[in-house]
Amino acid sequence: MVFLKNIILWVFASILIFFFSSCARLKESVLVEKYIANKYIEQNASMQTLDKYSKVLDQNTSLYLNQKLRGKLQSIIPIKLKKNIVYFKINTFDKKITTTIRKECEESSFIRGIILDLRDNGGGLLSEAVSLVDLFLEKGIILKEQGRKGLDSKVYMAHKKSICKNIPLVILVNAKSASASEIVAGALQIHERATLIGSKTFGKGTIQESIGLPNNKILNITVSKYVLAQDKKIDNIGIQPDINVNHSKIKLYSKKLQFSKQAYKNLHSIAKDKNLDTVLQIGFYVLAYNI
């Protein structure tokens, strides 16, 4: 009798759990569809028609991954090279980027060339990418942001206050350079302000917004897309560098673009990598032989 009673209680509890779980999922589904209708860049969209960047994420997992990825890296690392060239390794676009580079330009009158290394940089703050471009560009369109249904559209323009306007510039990119990295690289390339070296970039030309949902989940939804000057698109296309470096064909480059491991080790005081960074070498020599 007791056994039968326990089974009945277990079945009843299971039904209640299923009922409340279904209600929570329904509530979440209704909220998701509501946000999609109000926020997503395209009209008449549903969860099934969203782009690949719009999805429901587990909040705890997402935060953990972000902390894990960001915790090990400095956002920007400045290194002074020979011939008064300054190299900036930019790992992510946070609020430190423009301030660090502006300060270097203002305080270091000796700078004759700058290398921005955006390889493996998946993006960051849109505002920071625009501000960084503005350091090097005096006039023209930096970016056109296109919101939902043509609303909330915005054009970002360069200003005459450009701090680093006369400093020769090289930007290093690869297949993992995305989003904010592509804004910087693409905008400066299209205005012929920088030479891009490396391989084609990722191709992400959309902007997402994160919205909290029940059950500690987050809806990451695309709210706008962007194009560069001359309406040049990035999304699903990427940016082709001016000098495409294929490591398997690197011997095709002239010998003046090569230097020994010892020279590389002495290039700057903190270099410890014994392997040659071919793309950085080429960037260094493009500047060194043109300043």
Whole-number mean pLDDT of the chain?
74
Asked if the structure places residue 209 within a domain, the reply is: no
pLDDT tens by residue, 125-184: 999 999 999 999 999 999 999 876 666 788 999 987 777 878 899 999 999 999 999 999
Return the DSSP state at 47.
G
Asked if the structure places residue 177 within a domain, the reply is: yes
Lowest mean pLDDT among 113-117, 205-209, 218-222, 244-248: 244-248
Q: CA 227, CA 191: separation in Å to the nearest integer?
A: 14
Asked if the structure places residue 61 within a domain, the reply is: no
In the numeric block, the tokens 């001359």 are attached to 230
Asked if the structure places residue 94 within a domain, the reply is: yes
Asked if the structure places residue 243 within a domain, the reply is: yes
21 close to 28: Cβ distance less than 8 angstroms: no
Asked if the structure places residue 119 within a domain, the reply is: yes
Confidence tier at 217 by pLDDT (50, 70, 90): confident
| Of 285, 288, 283, 290, nearest in space to 116 by CA | 283
Return the DSSP state at 79.
E
Lowest mean pLDDT among 49-58, 113-122, 208-217: 49-58
Catalytic positions are 179, 204
User: Count of domains in the chain?
Assistant: 1
- The DSSP result for 117-172, as a single string, is E-TT---B-HHHHHHHHHHH-SSSEEEEEEEGGGTT-EEEE--TT-SSTTS-EEEE
Domain that holds residue 133: 69-140+162-203+238-288
> Domain containing 136 — which CATH number?
3.90.226.10
Asked if the structure places residue 193 within a domain, the reply is: yes
Does residue 221 register a pLDDT over 90?
Answer: no
- How confident is the model at residue 28, as a pLDDT? 55
78 forms beta bridges with: 88
Asked if the structure places residue 265 within a domain, the reply is: yes
Does residue 186 register a pLDDT over 60?
Answer: yes
